[in-house]
Structure 1
C-alpha cells in the first residue's frame, strides 16, 4: 500500500511516511549497538526485519488506535534520513505514546527534540489526543533530556517492568497533557 500520510514539517525537518526504500537505513540505525542499548530490539537488526516492520506500518494510512506508526525524520536541506519518530495511539485514541531514534551521527543537534515536538503538535492539534506518554530506560539521559525540553514531566519508575528477550530493566515514565502543551505553544 502506498503511504497516504501527509508529511509533517518543521524549519529543518520533514517527518514522512516510511517506504520500503528506508529498510536498509532503518536496519543500519537499529544495528548500531549504542542505539539498540535502551531499545526493544537487539543488534544486529536484519534488513529483512526492517522490511517486515515497514510493510506492517505502511499497511495503514496513518496512525490508528492500537498500533505504532513510525515516520522517517528527514533533513530538509539534503533529504538525508536522520532517524525516525513513532506514535502509538491507545485503543480509544485519547492517549498516545511517542518514541524517537536517530543515527548516532545525527544526535546532539536537537533533531530529536524538534521532530518529537512536531509529532506532539500533530497528536494534540490534529488527532485530539488528551495525554502523551513516553518511557525510557532511566539511564538513557539523552532521551530524558529530549523529553524534558519538550515539557514532559517525570511521573515515576516502573521497577523491572521492561523486558527485552530475557533481560529486564526499570522503565522511566514521562507524561504530557494536551492542555499543558497548548499553553506552552501559546507562549512560544
Structure 2
C-alpha cells in the first residue's frame, strides 16, 4: 500500500510539474543548431536504474530546417562502434516545443527546450505517455564537460520537477564519434 501511495504521489507531482514547463523565451532554432553532448539525464522510468552504470555521454547534431522543424542525429559509442539514430522534430505553435515519433515506443513524444544560452548549455524536458506518464530532463553541452554551476542548475531543476536524486545522473564522457562531413 505504501508503494502504491508513493507511486501515485510521484505521478501527481510529475503531472503537476509538467504543467509548468515553459520553453526558452524568444527561442532561436538556427542558433540552437549544431553539435551537442548530452551530459546529464534525469529519468523517472522504473527500468532506468538498471542502466545507470552503463550510460555514457552521447553526442548529437541539430540540423534546423527552413520550415521550423529540425533533425536531431544522435551518436552513441557501442562495442561494435559508433551507432547513429535520426529523430525528426516537428515544430509546434510554440517556439522551442517540438513533437517527434518514437520508433522504439511507437508513440509521439514532446520535447521542450527549457533554457539555453546557445553557446554552452541547454536544458530539455521530454514527456511521453506510454502505459503511464514519463518525463525526462536532459542537460546538453557544446562540450562533454560543463561548469559545476551548470551541473548544479540541472540537478536543481530536475529535483524541482519531481525527480528524486537517485534518478539524476551525469554520466562519464565517452569517446566521441566523428561527425559526418556534410
TM-score, with length taken from structure 2:
0.39
Which has the larger share of helix?
1
TM-score, with length taken from structure 1:
0.38
Q: Which has the higher contact order (CA 8 A, sep 6+)?
A: 2
Which has the larger share of strand?
2
